[in-house]
Structure 1
């Protein structure tokens, strides 16, 4: 999947970049777990692991966008809740896949 170069969240432009799995792990070594993407608020950027299947890339991008939306809306504590963000990402992805006509109408 070709990622978009950027996403506009409120008035903030987040650059989107594919990076290696190793780069994600090294830059997040102070945190626990495996990383397939991350969101940085300053500078506004989203990084996605380059070696994933297309569906994994899509769900990871939605996940990282949710982090950015929550942050830009002032929900910093919620933005740090990985379980909630992941649950929302999967729910939004399924909503879009199962209801494409609704998504076109509501979000156009």
Structure 2
């Protein structure tokens, strides 16, 4: 069994967990809750990039993405930002749905799984 590496852990959660060559990201949400879906999506994707880098990988190695939206009215605008961010030829499997998020000001939450090197740099 591989060692488990927990990144940015507190008593409740880790922002990322690495085991073997898999990276599991916790839900990423925008810090600026006053932004529209475009701003919040950009911020969330920037946070995903940063977490993946901390785990020694990047978005070209994404395997699965789950996107939760406050409103499906945001679907097209979110997709415009997301589609420009995804590495061509490396699109992960994906699911997207509407949920009641923990803070009503959040418009999007994104959870991801990625492949990573066997050892962190």
Q: TM-score, normalised by structure 1?
A: 0.33
* Structure with higher RCO (Cα < 8 A, 6+ apart): 2
Structure (1/2) with the larger strand percentage:
2
What TM-score does the superposition give when structure 2 sets the normalisation length? 0.30
